[in-house]
Structure 1
Amino acid sequence: MQTLPPMLNLNDLRFFVMAVTHGGFAAAGRALGVPKSTVSKRVAELEQALQARLLYRSSRSFTLTDAGRDFYEHARASLIEAEAAQEAVQRRVAEPSGTVRITASVPTAQQYLAVHLPALARAYPRLHVQLEVSDRMVDLVQEGFDIAVRSHFAPLPDSGLVQRPLAVEAIVLVAAPSYLAARGVPAAPGHLTGHDGLLTGVAAGTWRLSGPDGARMEVAPVPRMTVNESVVLLGAAMAGLGIVPLPQELCRAAVASGQLVRVLPDWTAGSVTTTLLMPARRGQLPGVRATVDFLVNCLQPAEPAGSAGQ
């Protein structure tokens, strides 16, 4: 079996190239921040390893031998390639890449992620985001998810997961202009008891409202429709079926376009919090960390307009 010659020390090549480039050991030492003797010694060790003279040097001259000239061209090219290789790895490490698995409920995905994930993909082209939209409570650790984005009315239980708040928004009362034209505009919370209500669940028949100066009131509208999905309730409200409490962001576009109108604009029906959760160890991965930072930046936490529960 043939024995391979020992590899040259890449640092010795750098000392040699710098000496040739700067025209002497003293100038190379100044450029490298080392004594002239260090450069001279390393070049001598390189010549010994190669068993060839690379330089003619004296007190007055510093020139390359024929072998030294050939070696210089290859050594300089090798250093350029080594620097390029290092930069390539550094760029790969610095640029988030790989797969990031996210789970979110249908309303959360529609309201938040649908808007921001395309910008995330453009910012990090080497990142592959996998979003599973589901209203079931996913076990992040057991099912291998990196991130969950959940909207909730009550504080989340302590699960050992890292929790990062993304947004807190008020729940407002809205209705279609056609409904209000037919049934009248409530002037006070007590007037809601005679109005049709679009409810989020059987247990949500009573609305707990917060108003100016900390005022609180409970009202029970006439149940007109009960749906446990906010986008369907939004459509029912725009169809003129009744008054509905919805997260402010969810109905912002409909209010801006005039399809819906705020009812009792000084009152809110609680707030909804959107939280990002992840296993602690997953947050150390560059791709996951970049995704978390991106979402937190897009959805800065804000103080809720109302604090009453629903």
Structure 2
Amino acid sequence: MADRFEDLRILVAVVSAGGFAAGANRLGVAKSAVSRRIRELEDRLGVRLFDRTTRRVQLTDAGRDFHGRAVAILLSLEEAEEEASNASRALKGQIRIAAPVSFTAHCLAPAVGRFLELHPAVSLSIDTDDRMVDLIRDGFDLAIRIADLPDSSLVARRLVTIRHACVASPALLQRLGTPRTPMDLSNFPGVVYSNREEASYWRFADDLVPNVASRLAFGNGDAVREAAIAGLGIAMLPTFIVHDAVRRGALSIVLAKHMRPPIAMYALHPSMRNQTARAREFIDFLVGEFGGEPVWDRGLFSGGTAD
């Protein structure tokens, strides 16, 4: 039975890492050993789990079904072991987290040290990627997302309110003037965040969407901010990315009275039934750390605005 659990762990590692070599590296074993165990597993089941090509490894339909059950089994096993060995209530093990790049750099990374101090037997693996990940397929315990959430099988816990600000460098505003309404942005160059559709990116209150000539796009919010500081265009970004630049005068907030309503940041996890105690504790920590008025918003709109 232990060997069968190891087969499941190997399968999940290959899928979450995106290939046999990467999965072997994550597990600290040889690629040949991983390939052999998967081949033996397929032989025992009498079904092919992966379609193998020279460029990538992809789950078959049977493989996807088996992988979903493997993830659930391993999570249940881990939770059972935690409960059985948790007489001291000390949490242990790794928490795998998917989180946005800029939020991790500005907010999450400085905070997690306090969690690790409280739980010295816990380790954190934080995957920074602004794209949406599949928690089940990729083997994450939780994801942190800023979004209006669609209906899904995931459980969401609200963490903090996220406000956006339309910002530009003082030099750009001096050269082109200060916009008074969102539609004035048609006279400005724009810098956009490429992981969002432009219509969504430039949406203001009352669903106003100005026609902004956006010739520069980045897949990272910090890069968008730096381009705006350099005077390359006007931008729309979460305040946790721009608050320092606004406070030191490198950027000015414009059209603050026209901004769309705030949205929320959530911690998402597959289900309460398959959630480990350490993941629950980490989410509770995040709520305590970031709940209430965000520190990065305090006083931000009372100064540094150009309207």
Q: Which amino acid aligns with 2:243?
A: R
Q: Name 1:80's counterpart in structure 2.
A: none
Q: Name 1:274's counterpart in structure 2.
A: 265
SS of the residue corresponding to residue 93 of structure 1 reads: coil
Q: Name 1:132's counterpart in structure 2.
A: 127
* 1:185 pairs with 2:178: yes
* 1:241 pairs with 2:232: yes
Q: Which amino acid aligns with 1:114?
A: A
Higher-Rg structure is: 1
Contact 1:108/1:149, CA 8 A, preserved across alignment: no
Work out the CA distance in 2 between the residues paired with 1:101 and 1:234.
28
Q: Name 2:142's counterpart in structure 1.
A: 147
SS of the residue corresponding to residue 94 of structure 1 reads: coil
**Residues 186-227 of structure 1: CA deviation (Å, up to 9, x unaligned):** 2233322211111224841572212xxxx5533112223122
Q: Name 2:116's counterpart in structure 1.
A: 121
Q: Which amino acid aligns with 2:221?
A: S
Give the TM-score normalised by structure 2.
Answer: 0.60
**Residues 153-201 of structure 1: CA deviation (Å, up to 9, x unaligned):** x32331x221111122222100111111222112233322211111224
Contact 2:141/2:275, CA 8 A, preserved across alignment: no
SS of the residue corresponding to residue 208 of structure 1 reads: coil
Give the TM-score normalised by structure 1.
Answer: 0.60
Contact 2:92/2:119, CA 8 A, preserved across alignment: yes
Q: Name 1:72's counterpart in structure 2.
A: none
Q: Name 2:286's counterpart in structure 1.
A: 295
Change (3 A) 1:111 1:151: farther
Work out the CA distance in 2 between the residues paired with 1:240 and 1:126.
47
Work out the CA distance in 2 between the residues paired with 1:283 and 1:164.
15
Kindly report which structure 2 residues correspond to 1:155-304, keeping only aligned pairs within 5 A, or say none.
Answer: 155-158=149-152, 160-201=153-194, 203-204=197-198, 207-210=202-205, 217-269=208-260, 271-281=262-272, 285-300=276-291
SS of the residue corresponding to residue 185 of structure 1 reads: coil
Identity of aligned residues (%): 28
Change (3 A) 1:196 1:269: farther
Q: Which amino acid aligns with 2:144?
A: V
Work out the CA distance in 2 between the residues paired with 1:205 and 1:100.
36
Identify unmatched segments of 5+ residues in structure 1.
Answer: 1-88, 305-310
Following superposition, the deviation at residue 252 of structure 1 comes to: 0.9
Change (3 A) 1:239 1:269: farther
**Residues 26-83 of structure 1: CA deviation (Å, up to 9, x unaligned):** xxxxxxxxxxxxxxxxxxxxxxxxxxxxxxxxxxxxxxxxxxxxxxxxxxxxxxxxxx
Contact 1:173/1:243, CA 8 A, preserved across alignment: yes
Q: Which amino acid aligns with 1:157?
A: D
Change (3 A) 1:133 1:189: closer
| More divergent stretch after superposition (94-103 vs 137-146) | 137-146
Work out the CA distance in 1 between the residues paired with 2:292 and 2:159.
5
Following superposition, the deviation at residue 251 of structure 1 comes to: 0.8
Contact 1:170/1:272, CA 8 A, preserved across alignment: yes
Q: Which amino acid aligns with 2:185?
A: L
